[in-house]
Amino acid sequence: MANNSSNGGEKTTTKPPPQPSPLRNSKFFQSNMRILVTGGAGFIGSHLVDKLMENKKNEVIVVDNFFTGSKDNLRKWIGHPRFELIRHDVTEPLLVEVDQIYHLACPASPIFYKYNPVKTIKTNVIGTLNMLGLAKRVGARILLTSTSEVYGDPLVHPQPESYWGNVNPIGVRSCYDEGKRVAETLMFDYHRQHGIEIRIARIFNTYGPRMNIDDGRVVSNFIAQALRDEPLTVQLPGTQTRSFCYVSDMVDGLIRLMGGEHSGPINIGNPGEFTMLELAETVKEEFGLASGKQDQLHRWGWGWGHLTKYGMHKIVIKHESRMKLAGGILLINPEVEIKKVENTPDDPRQRKPDITKAKELLGWEPKLKLREGLPLMEEDFRLRLGVAKKK
Ligand SMILES: NC(=O)c1ccc[n+]([C@@H]2O[C@H](COP(=O)([O-])OP(=O)(O)OC[C@H]3O[C@@H](n4cnc5c(N)ncnc54)[C@H](O)[C@@H]3O)[C@@H](O)[C@H]2O)c1
Ligand SMILES: O=c1ccn([C@@H]2O[C@H](COP(=O)(O)OP(=O)(O)O[C@H]3OC[C@@H](O)[C@H](O)[C@H]3O)[C@@H](O)[C@H]2O)c(=O)[nH]1
pLDDT confidence of residue 229: 87
State the DSSP H helix or E strand holding residue 284, giving kind and residue range, or none if neither: helix 276-286
Sign of CA dihedral 135, 139, 145, 147: positive
ipTM of the complex: 0.98
Q: State the catalytic residue, choosing from 102, 176, 190, 246.
A: 176
List, in sequence order, every residue forming a beta bridge with 299; answer none if it has no partner: 304
Query: What are the structural domain ranges in the chain?
Result: 4-208+247-269+347-366, 293-334
Does residue 265 line the site of ligand 1, with CB under 6 A? no
Hey, is 277 helix, strand or coil? Answer: helix
Cα of 217 to ligand 2 centre, how many Å?
5
Residue of 107, 108, 74 lying closest to 90 (CA atoms): 107
Tell me how crowded residue 288 is: count the other CB atoms within 10 A of its CB.
Answer: 13
| In contact, 136 and 197? CB cutoff 8 Å | no
pLDDT confidence of residue 8: 45
Does residue 368 line the site of ligand 1, with CB under 6 A? no
What whole-number distance in Å separates Cα of residue 187 and Cα of residue 203? 16
**DSSP code of 369?**
-
Ligand 2, from 202, 235, 267, 274: best to mutate by most atoms within 8 Å of Cβ? 235
Cα of 248 to ligand 2 centre, how many Å?
20
Ligand nearest to the CA of 341: 2
**DSSP code of 84?**
E
Nearest ligand 1 atom to the CA of 144 is 41
List, in sequence order, every residue forming a beta bridge with 340; answer none if it has no partner: 234
Ligand 1, from 48, 90, 104, 266: best to mutate by most atoms within 8 Å of Cβ? 104
Does residue 145 line the site of ligand 1, with CB under 6 A? yes
Q: Among 1.20.1090.10, 3.40.50.2300, 3.40.50.720, 2.30.29.30, what is the CATH number of 4-208+247-269+347-366? A: 3.40.50.720
DSSP string, 119-175: HHHHHHHHHHHHHHHHHHHHT-EEEEEEEGGGGBS-SSSSBPTT---B--TTSTTHH
Per-residue pLDDT of the chain (391 residues; tens, 9 = 90+): 444 444 545 556 667 777 776 666 666 665 689 999 999 999 999 999 999 999 999 999 999 999 999 999 999 999 999 999 999 999 999 999 999 999 999 999 999 999 999 999 999 999 999 999 999 999 999 999 999 999 999 999 999 999 999 999 999 999 999 999 999 999 999 999 999 999 999 999 999 999 999 889 999 999 999 998 899 999 999 999 999 999 999 999 999 999 999 999 999 999 999 999 999 999 998 887 654 445 667 776 767 676 666 676 666 555 554 556 666 766 655 567 899 999 999 999 999 999 999 999 999 999 999 999 999 999 999 999 998 876 5
| In contact, 65 and 105? CB cutoff 8 Å | yes
pLDDT confidence of residue 137: 95
pLDDT confidence of residue 389: 77
Residue nearest to atom 5 of ligand 2 (CA): 218
Residues lining ligand 2, CB < 6 A? 108-110, 147-149, 205, 216-218, 221, 233-235, 240, 242, 276, 343, 347
pLDDT confidence of residue 294: 53
Hey, is 117 helix, strand or coil? Answer: helix
pLDDT confidence of residue 31: 62
Tell me how crowded residue 3 is: count the other CB atoms within 10 A of its CB.
Answer: 7
pLDDT confidence of residue 129: 98
End-to-end CA distance of the chain: 54
What whole-number distance in Å separates Cα of residue 298 and Cα of residue 313? 10
176 labelled catalytic: yes
